[in-house]
Structure 1
Amino acid sequence: MSFFDPGRTSLKVCGVTREADALRLVDMGVDAVGFNFWPKSKRYLDPEKAVWSLDLAEKILRVGVFVNERGDLPYRLFGEGLIDVVQLHGDEAPEITANFVKAGIPVIKAVGVKDESDLSLAGRHDSDAILLDAHAPQVFGGTGVTFDWRLAKRFQMDFPEKVLILAGGITAENAAEAVRQVAPAALDVASGAEISPGIKDFEKVAALLAACRK
């Protein structure tokens, strides 16, 4: 998938809750959308109401976001064709991530970064990409808070074979600098592309896309 190509920086807009917003993102050329299937998220999308995701197939990469999911929901939604990639955004152990790899399901593992010790933890996961986010216990992303991008660069040095996605407080104002400093395979943006939680701001999205395409 070109989304995981480290030679370019793609854009993933996460926390999409409305079909109309998703279709607009397709038209704008956004590389990926994220649907948050964690019930405690303020950007929660009820899986039973996400059938419209089927219409997005092969138009945009559809990422299902899960937090410490104990059931078979990620496998079921992938099998039903509603998502293309599973993103694990909780405290999942490397063994959980490996199960998706074994099942042939593309998987992104997100890790909150507070200090260098979190980098070694991230490096233990076998996945299609590692998403580094700001450390946010019990919230698991979408806070609008950045972390020290020097840690992202350190991760790239320590684990050059890993595909890196950068998240945490990415906005239209700092996206170009994030690309310049880190050159990740993708930027993952939720609050930085919104009017309010789950409702997208397309002027912000256009600016984020421009930053990625530079």
Structure 2
Amino acid sequence: MLARFLDPSCCSLKICGVTLPADADRLVELGVDALGANFWPKSKRYLDPAKAGFLADLAGRILRVGVFVNAGTDPPRELFEAGFIDAVQLHGDEPESDLHTLAGHGIPVIRSATLSNAQPPAVPAALLLDAHAPGVYGGTGRTIDWPAAADFIRQHSGLPVILAGGIVPGNAAEAVRLVRPCAIDIASGAESAPGIKDFDKVRALQAALA
């Protein structure tokens, strides 16, 4: 499932910041490739791990990515081993040693970076390029420099790159055309409110990728 999500021959869709079981079920019904659950307590889209049991019911039906910010390696490892998530997205300032530790447990890692500090990490499954916002880790709605992102991808052709930051139904097709990522990651661009998904927007995003 992860390999299909990261297939560079097409562009997959990840809807991030899922907080409600009904929203997760609807994403599965629509055939969305992946969902993200944010386990950073300061996020507007925070999902308490104690309320994340519904993710276990989705195993094998959608790629489940757990998003963490400077949490260390134990919390993501525990959720992975409990069967709640399929991959870990490190969206903070984690040291390279965290990536190696998680990979040593057989956990696929997506490393988040901004264009100013993006470089191919040693062990992740993919790199996620997001907009820079001091003190805020994702979900800002800010758009990154697409031509610069495209240049980065061309320079690192063997690295799966996921594009995030300010993508909405109205610009998704153009973002994919210009940047050529293996996937796009959407939070605020697929919502009616933080953590509440808007399925008209989700379907429009799918249509933009078709």
Task: Give the alignment's TM-score, normalised by structure 1.
Answer: 0.94
Q: Which amino acid aligns with 2:141?
A: G
Matches within 5 A, 1:90-129: 90-113=92-115, 115=116, 118-119=117-118, 122-129=119-126
C-alpha separation between the residues in 2 aligned to 1:123 and 1:107?
Answer: 12
- Partner residue in 2 for 1:16: 18
- Partner residue in 1 for 2:86: 84
Matches within 5 A, 1:24-103: 24-70=26-72, 72-103=74-105
1:55-92 deviation line (CA, Å, top 9, x unaligned): 11111000000001125110000000000010000011
- Partner residue in 1 for 2:153: 156
SS of the residue corresponding to residue 114 of structure 2 reads strand
1:117-165 deviation line (CA, Å, top 9, x unaligned): x23xx32342100000001221111000001011211211221111000
Decide which of 178, 181, 193 is 1:181's aligned counterpart. 178
SS of the residue corresponding to residue 123 of structure 1 reads coil
Q: Which amino acid aligns with 1:134?
A: A
Aligned residues between the structures: 208
SS of the residue corresponding to residue 150 of structure 2 reads helix
- Partner residue in 2 for 1:142: 139
- Partner residue in 2 for 1:165: 162
SS of the residue corresponding to residue 169 of structure 1 reads coil
Percent identity of paired positions between Structure 1 and Structure 2: 57
Unaligned runs of 5+ in 2: none
C-alpha separation between the residues in 2 aligned to 1:128 and 1:57?
Answer: 19
SS of the residue corresponding to residue 165 of structure 1 reads strand
How far is 1:102 from its partner? 2.1
- Partner residue in 1 for 2:191: 194
SS of the residue corresponding to residue 152 of structure 2 reads helix
Task: Give the alignment's TM-score, normalised by structure 2.
Answer: 0.96
SS of the residue corresponding to residue 130 of structure 2 reads strand
C-alpha separation between the residues in 1 aligned to 2:99 and 2:158?
Answer: 17
C-alpha separation between the residues in 2 aligned to 1:23 and 1:203?
Answer: 15
C-alpha separation between the residues in 1 aligned to 2:59 and 2:82?
Answer: 11
How far is 1:196 from its partner? 0.3
C-alpha separation between the residues in 2 aligned to 1:108 and 1:71?
Answer: 14
Give the conservation status (yes or no) of the 8 Å contact 1:109–1:125.
no
Give the conservation status (yes or no) of the 8 Å contact 2:153–2:181.
no
